[in-house]
Amino acid sequence: MDQQLSYLGVPLTRPKVAFFDFTSCEGCQLQILNNEATLLDFLNLVEIVNFREGMSEKSDNYDIAFIEGSISRPDEIKRLEAIRHNAKIVVALGSCACFGGVNQLKNRFNDLNWVKKEVYGDFPIETIEVHPLEKYVQVDLKIYGCPIKKEEVEKIVTNLVVGKSITSPEYPVCMECKANENICLFELGEPCLGPVTRAGCDAWCTNNRRGCWGCRGPADVANVRQLEEIMHKYGFSNETMLDRLECFGGFASLTKEIKKTKKPAAKRKK
């Protein structure tokens, strides 16, 4: 594992890599371990110095920090700032880190006291409004998805190590889905955010006949008004569309606009 790496004859240094997690399911880190077939090759490419879920050794000396999860408690802000201070490159790993992920769904009530009481009754546990990493620190690179796609991560990390440029597709999932020759899910009676969501997942859900819920956030050219028309044409309500648009937080600014005319989320009376 310690042999000298080279790319096109140019020797490469293995960057020191650390993994960290905040408010999340830790599934994105697990996706890295889920790469059985190529895991050992991947480990050869980088030097992992910090990965609490997988190893006991720890170090604060790292080049790249991969950070999973969103920020939902004050102590997390401090920990995040310390990581930013140590790392040359901060990578937001997955929807929670990029947009807040499903965790930000609790923000829609605009009432954290109710949220705490609903779950913990008379034992309130500290929480703040959920935000993505970039609300607090500079993020150098975002890897989208809930979960992240391991092939995409490996490609990005390889490019990072060999110094190639990294770009995300600007077009929507719909393009990839069409290229895969799937029957349009709207035709099968299933609502889908494929027309507005950033591609790069190779239409992971829609290939499996599951409508897209927008985990990768909006494509650069997202036309949400057009999506509204398609949804209505196929008989889906604004609520069905909003359930999907607000699920991961990537469309937050757009859902705010659509919701402006609507009441805040209904809570349950205790």
- Where on the chain is the footprint of another protein (CB under 8 A)? 1, 22-31, 33-34, 36-37, 39-40, 43, 48, 51-58, 72-73, 76, 101-103, 105-106, 109, 114-116, 118-123, 125, 127, 146-147, 190, 204-205, 207-210, 213, 239-240, 243, 247, 265-268
58, exposed or middle or buried, with CB in 10 Å at 0-12, 13-18, 19+?
Answer: exposed
Q: How far is the CB of 185 from another protein (least distance, A)?
A: 9
Task: Please answer whether residues 91 and 65 qualify as being in contact, where contact means their C-beta atoms are separated by less than 8 angstroms.
Answer: yes
3-state secondary structure of 82: helix
Q: Which is nearer to another protein, 52 or 256 (CB)?
A: 52
Q: Which is nearer to another protein, 121 or 163 (CB)?
A: 121
Q: Which is nearer to another protein, 220 or 243 (CB)?
A: 243
Helix (H) or strand (E) holding 118: helix 112-120
Q: Which is nearer to another protein, 146 or 160 (CB)?
A: 146
Task: Please answer whether residues 185 and 206 qualify as being in contact, where contact means their C-beta atoms are separated by less than 8 angstroms.
Answer: yes
Q: How far apart are CA 44 and CA 156, in angstroms?
A: 15
Q: Which is nearer to another protein, 7 or 235 (CB)?
A: 235
Q: How far apart are CA 16 and CA 18, in angstroms?
A: 7
Q: How far apart are CA 115 and CA 92, in angstroms?
A: 26
Residue showing tokens 């401090």? 78
Can you read off the two tokens belonging to residue 225? 């008004």
Q: How far is the CB of 167 from another protein (least distance, A)?
A: 25
Backbone phi, psi, residue 11, to 5°:
-65, 145
Q: Which is nearer to another protein, 183 or 221 (CB)?
A: 183
Q: Are strands 64-68 and 47-51 parallel, antiparallel or unpaired?
A: unpaired
Q: How far is the CB of 68 from another protein (least distance, A)?
A: 9
Q: Are strands 64-68 and 10-12 parallel, antiparallel or unpaired?
A: unpaired
Q: How far apart are CA 168 and CA 108, in angstroms?
A: 29
Q: Which is nearer to another protein, 75 or 167 (CB)?
A: 75
